[in-house]
Amino acid sequence: MSKITTVKEAAARIKSGSVLHLGGFYAQGSPECLISAMLEQGVTDLTIISNDTGTPNEGLGRLVEAGRVKKLYCSYVGLTPILPKLIEEGKVELELVPQGTLIERIRCAGYGLGGVLTPTGLGTVIEENKQVVELNGRRWLYDTPIKADVAIVEAYRADTAGNLIFRRTQNNFNATMCTAADLVIAEIVEPIVEAGAIDPDEIMVPGVFVDVLVRKGV
Amino acid sequence: MEPRIIIPKRIAQEFKDGDVVNLGVGIPTLVPRYVPEGVTIWLHSENGVIGIGPEADPSHKDVFLLDASKKYATIAPGGATFDSTVSFGLVRGGHLEATVLGALQVDQEGNLANWIVPGGKLTGMGGAMDLVAGARRVIIATEHTAKDGASKILKKCTFPLTGAHVVDMIVTELAVMRVRPEGLVLQEVAPGVSVDTVVKNTDAELIVPANVPQMPI
């Protein structure tokens, strides 16, 4: 069965109330066409894991501005001016997670591990709600894996088998998010090529992780 | 001398050829222009680059290459791009020689507060907590006093910490200080600055050795 569909059909598979991994760093690598389709189709009450909230006009910020998000796991939210008000009004719940811990929590979910032991955040507010583990004479903060119902990512090239390649700093959280969701949708910048047209050594996400491919703008 | 010259100039002397370094926003971004001839440092960018270069020429920019401040950037020959697990594996795994960061407050125990002002704008720590926990050396580049004249070098930080007992070295326009097991040691004074001036502008208890040399800049 072909993995290729339209942006609209792919976005329609994301249900209200879903937990979503959304790729991107300051919205670079965020799948903007899928986000536009989600906004049009009315999906709401989303829990979203993403490095940051983007800006009001880019990436996750667009969903936050439109009131579609109820819970966020992010490392940075400083470019979304509306968010503090939404949090104060009880409309959005935010868990701030250090960037390196956030990506590892996603990786743990994707790779079958029980969680992260990290030195990051020891002695800070992050420690207050986390379990401290003493192992081999050192203290570590334990944090849990984060799995999602759906991951939506952007990639530069893809073949019909779902193999993905990113360009420059477009990857960021995207490759790891592809491993940690029940349904993975990738929005591709370049025309999708036939399986076999990409050298296997160049593939950055094996197609086995990717369920649905859409071409940007199609 | 201007803080924005003296601080990065002094910090630039800390590196040897080939060191991988992460620079925070503000004064730290000025360090590369003062790195001595014959020394090349590799700059790490949290969004997945070693060898990130200066801002791109607008007419030749690659729209897929951004730095960690969302600006179009360049990449040095021999540089590499990668995903966030590699980027933060480099950070936590001790593969960065140093991170150079600004401070809201820093104290004599090596505690650093630089990610949130209580009651201030909601932002987030981004990668700062990982950087201070993982880099081999944490170097603070900050003006000695805040705009209101209050010392930023404290006995004890009052703002929420970015990391506890993480700072190795503090460089200001007045002095270089090292965090040692015995306390905060005044290591150097800036040209034309007396030890007394440093002590007067410092809230922390400074350990002052018998001989404090001038910054070699």
Annotation marks residue B46 as catalytic: yes
pLDDT digits (tens, 9 = 90+) for B24-60: 999 999 999 999 999 999 999 999 999 999 999 999 9
Q: CB-based contact (8 Å) between A172 and chain B?
A: yes
- Has residue B1 got a pLDDT over 90? no
Contact A100 B65 (CB under 8 A): no
Q: Give the separation between CA A216 and CA A51, rounded to whole angstroms.
A: 22
The residue in chain B having the minimum alpha-carbon distance to the alpha carbon of residue A79 is B123
Q: Which residues pair with A72 in a beta bridge?
A: A48, A94
DSSP assignment of B165-181: S---EEE-SSEEEEEET
Q: Which residues of A touch B130 (CB under 8 A)?
A: 98-101, 120
Contact B123 A77 (CB under 8 A): yes
Whole-angstrom CA distances from A169 to A152, A174, B68 are 17, 10, 10
Domain spans in chain B, listed from the N-terminal domain onward: 3-207
The fold for domain A7-112+146-215 equals Glutaconate Coenzyme A-transferase (3.40.1080)
pLDDT the model gives residue A215: 98
Angle (CA) A195-A199-A202 rounded to 5° is 115
Q: Predicted ipTM? A: 0.97
Q: Give the separation between CA B198 and CA A14, rounded to whole angstroms.
A: 60
pLDDT digits (tens, 9 = 90+) for A114-146: 999 999 999 999 999 899 999 999 999 999 999
pLDDT digits (tens, 9 = 90+) for A74-108: 999 999 999 999 999 999 999 999 999 999 999 99
Task: For residues B10-25, give the mean pLDDT.
Answer: 97
Q: Which residues of B touch A77 (CB under 8 A)?
A: 122-124
Q: Which residues of A touch B84 (CB under 8 A)?
A: 25, 51, 99-100, 103, 171-173, 176
Q: Which residues of A touch B124 (CB under 8 A)?
A: 52, 74-78, 96
**Confidence band of B90 (pLDDT split at 50, 70, 90):** very high
Q: Are B92 and A121 in contact (CB under 8 A)?
A: no
Instruction: State in Å, rounded, how far the first CA of chain A is from the last one.
Output: 19
pLDDT the model gives residue B62: 95
- Has residue A206 got a pLDDT over 80? yes
Contact A119 B88 (CB under 8 A): no
- Has residue A15 got a pLDDT over 90? yes
Q: Which of B47, B122, B128 sits opposite A84 (nearest CB)?
A: B122
Q: Which helix (H) or strand (E) holds B140?
A: strand B137-141
- Has residue A26 got a pLDDT over 90? yes
- Around Cβ B127, how many Cβ atoms within 10 Å? 31
Give all strands (DSSP E) within A18-169, no chain letters: 19-22, 46-49, 69-74, 93-96, 116-118, 131-135, 138-143, 148-155, 157-158, 164-165
pLDDT digits (tens, 9 = 90+) for B132-169: 999 999 999 999 999 999 999 999 999 999 999 999 99
Q: Which of A83, A96, A107 sits opposite B125 (nearest CB)?
A: A96
What's the gap in Å between the CA of A119 and the closest CA on chain B?
Answer: 6
pLDDT digits (tens, 9 = 90+) for A52-64: 999 999 999 999 9
What's the gap in Å between the CA of A100 and the closest CA on chain B?
Answer: 5
The one catalytic residue among B2, B14, B37, B46 = B46
Q: CB-based contact (8 Å) between A41 and chain B?
A: no
Q: Which helix (H) or strand (E) holds A35?
A: helix A32-41
Give the architecture-level CATH label for domain B3-207.
3-Layer(aba) Sandwich (3.40)
Q: What predicted TM-score, i.e. pTM, was given to this entire model?
A: 0.97
- Sort strands A93-96 and A116-118 into parallel, antiparallel or unpaired: unpaired
Mean pLDDT (chain B) is 97
**Confidence band of A20 (pLDDT split at 50, 70, 90):** very high
Q: Are B204 and B184 in contact (CB under 8 A)?
A: yes
Burial (CB count <10 Å: 0-12, 13-18, 19+), residue A173 = buried
Find all residues with CB under 8 Å of A55, minimum gap 6, and list them.
A26, A27, A61, A79, A80
Q: Are A169 and A28 in contact (CB under 8 A)?
A: yes
Q: Which residues of B touch A126 (CB under 8 A)?
A: 125, 129
pLDDT the model gives residue B167: 98
pLDDT the model gives residue A1: 85
pLDDT the model gives residue B3: 94
